[in-house]
Structure 1
């Protein structure tokens, strides 16, 4: 590839299989094989991990929440609510399991990962409503979860970043809870895919324009790219009035990622709406580069993310 990748990341690519969601059944099977045994292999020292189910919205199934609680830390604890990536069509809490263990230990906070429904079997708004329901149930049962409902941050990666951005709007528009930070990592925000990076990066690793087109088509159906998509589904469609009053944002984008420019544009739109926003562009990176955990750029981004969350949650 002609892209000037960070040398540590480029070396790791030789060991990776390409991601292709054109055959979704095969992609899901490959991911399941990759994630098999994740929970058993991960270092869970100092963290109690538990899967719980909370009632879904009327007519919807229960929502599974994976909770990570620091052992020996008295509550009530601040809450970090995390949403995994996977193009709206792949993934479950195992995707971010090791990251969530790390975040729980570093922040000494309750970390909760939502297992939202996937498209195309469950198109928009199923995933977002599952994320909202999980958050609302946590706050409703704050005493039972021993959490501090006044100290909540959202974190999402890729499709999860788009869901986190939409959830921040829902929380504001549906009367709370108040969110202290929305941390968006390589967020999928714009179904129109007309930015320069979305047009140019047709061959980048892990995520590229063909995958992005398939992802949005699965999530939104025939509406994808059209005039009827709302801002909760694709937050890049929000105008300044829609963005005013949202929680502070910390946005990280990758240089060689079709989603790069929509993340940059969203940061600029938030700033224009008066929302405190911090933007980081990581040079030489591609979508999912953080999975190369030993690389200097991934370690730097991880440390920065923890520092920002620590400040937001009062840790």
Structure 2
């Protein structure tokens, strides 16, 4: 006898989840749901090609509390952090995400974006076809670095060690390490005598040292580490140099002060390509050393 497919009645749809009753407990339940799953409904694609996902735990949640927390966790930034086992780390992220937004100087941000973009346009127009690894498409990196360094200055940072690969390095040299544009252009003109004496290198490999002045007027010493190899090879070098500088700052006669106040004087910033961050083992090995007493630098800012 031929096999027959039995028709199974379709299961009735689950009723929409009701919002918890108002009050402190109900509000906390709503906030907890969005802290866990809100990133799935975040609008992360500015082109609108990929629509945000829907999560059943968030469907049907309405009311003032739901609208408030939806603006926090379902806007253009997503945060997937509730899987972290340490309550202190979860609380740290929650406090900063749910705190009132700080006022930003939109005029300054626009100016920095325009400067970064014009820098790339000038190089492209003058040196057509020359390899330069531009920052076009991610010029928001420049105001992001401004924000990081301004905040670091307020918290007592005196120096920052920056590691990155080729992409956008020339732009970061000018706008973060404060190298003069004519020094960068000289690399395209081949006017550096060292280039014929065996001591030079291509312009997107070399490092830079300068002084960044924060919005409040504080000076931070910037060192962009040379990266003659590819992608993530420079990362452990930058972390090691940060550790050495922290040790030098912490020398107190017969012992080394490694208190948070001392560590925070040196800020390591490491920029990664998205594929390189996930695929290159050298950075995974560096992360494994991050919390070891003899290697830790007290934390590193990562930009992917």
The question of a shared fold, defined as TM-score above 0.5 by the shorter chain, is answered with no
Q: What is the TM-score when the length of structure 2 is the normalising length?
A: 0.30
What TM-score, normalized to structure 1?
0.29
